[in-house]
Amino acid sequence: MIPSPPATSLVRPESGLLAVVEARSGEQVSRCFQCRKCTNGCPLAFAMDLKPNQVMRMIQLGLEDEVLRSKTIWICAGCQTCTTRCPNDIDIAHLMDSLRQLSQKAGVTPAEPKVVKFHEAFLDSIRRHGRVYELGMMARYKLATLDLFGDAKLAGKMFKKGKLRFLPSGVKGKKEIRRMFEEKQGDKEVKD
């Protein structure tokens, strides 16, 4: 007779996380059958603690803590390679963004805090200037991370080549862009 494994080693599927993630993202994670095309095409899989297909499976199993605390959801660059390769048309890149939002809403400390600071600096730049103003965005990011001089040599080279501008360029429709951010903030407050 084969002894049964200890009860602590069993993973019992729990559909709560799956339902929440599918509702929030609009993606049918339950359709994933673990072909691993998402992971095999991912250019950042080498840096992830969980591969994209593992995240999908953990969602199906209801392993909320493991998924929301993973580095993977923060390392994902949103390049859409996984989404393009998925035979079930699951937008995995969008799903990773939804997981980041769920993680923040749950108050989980991000496994990659610099990514959050970069994201905030990026969005603030768009909100303020209508497009990314690289110098201002990087200044905000550097102040937030206290890594003030890590890229000083690179910045000098970029200025010489005309890749960085001292002043932001103007764009049409700044008011509309700001209004979109205000509406999104209003939606977020209503949902919370």
The residue among 105, 132, 157 that closes a domain is 105
Q: Are residues 101 and 117 in the same domain?
A: no
> What is the chain's percent helix, strand, coil content, to nearest 5?
60, 0, 40
Q: Are residues 90 and 117 in the same domain?
A: no
Give the Cα separation of 70 and 48 in Å (integer). 8
Task: List the single range of 3-17, 26-40, 91-105 with lowest mean pLDDT.
Answer: 3-17
The residue among 77, 105, 133 that closes a domain is 105
More confident residue, 186 or 168: 168
Q: What is the pTM of this model?
A: 0.74
Residue 20: pLDDT over 80 = yes
What pLDDT score does 191 carry? 52
Give the mean pLDDT of the chain. Answer: 87
Per-residue pLDDT tens over the stretch 127-172: 888 888 888 888 899 999 888 888 888 888 888 888 888 788 878 8
Q: Are residues 117 and 175 in the same domain?
A: yes
Q: Hey, how many other C-beta atoms are within 10 angstroms of the C-beta on 172?
A: 8
Q: What is the band of 190 on the pLDDT scale with cuts at 50, 70, 90?
A: very low
CATH of the domain at 32: 1.10.1060.10
Residue 185: pLDDT over 70 = no
Percent of the chain with pLDDT over 90: 50
Q: What is the band of 192 on the pLDDT scale with cuts at 50, 70, 90?
A: very low
Q: Are residues 66 and 147 in the same domain?
A: no
> Alpha helices of 87-171 — where are they, by DSSP H?
92-105, 113-129, 134-145, 152-160
In terms of Cα–Cα distance, which of 63, 52, 73, 57 is closest to 116?
73
Q: Are residues 130 and 158 in the same domain?
A: yes
Q: Are residues 95 and 118 in the same domain?
A: no
Give the Cα separation of 123 and 116 in Å (integer). 11
What pLDDT score does 60 carry? 95
What pLDDT score does 119 carry? 85
- Are the C-beta atoms of 119 and 75 separated by less than 8 Å? no
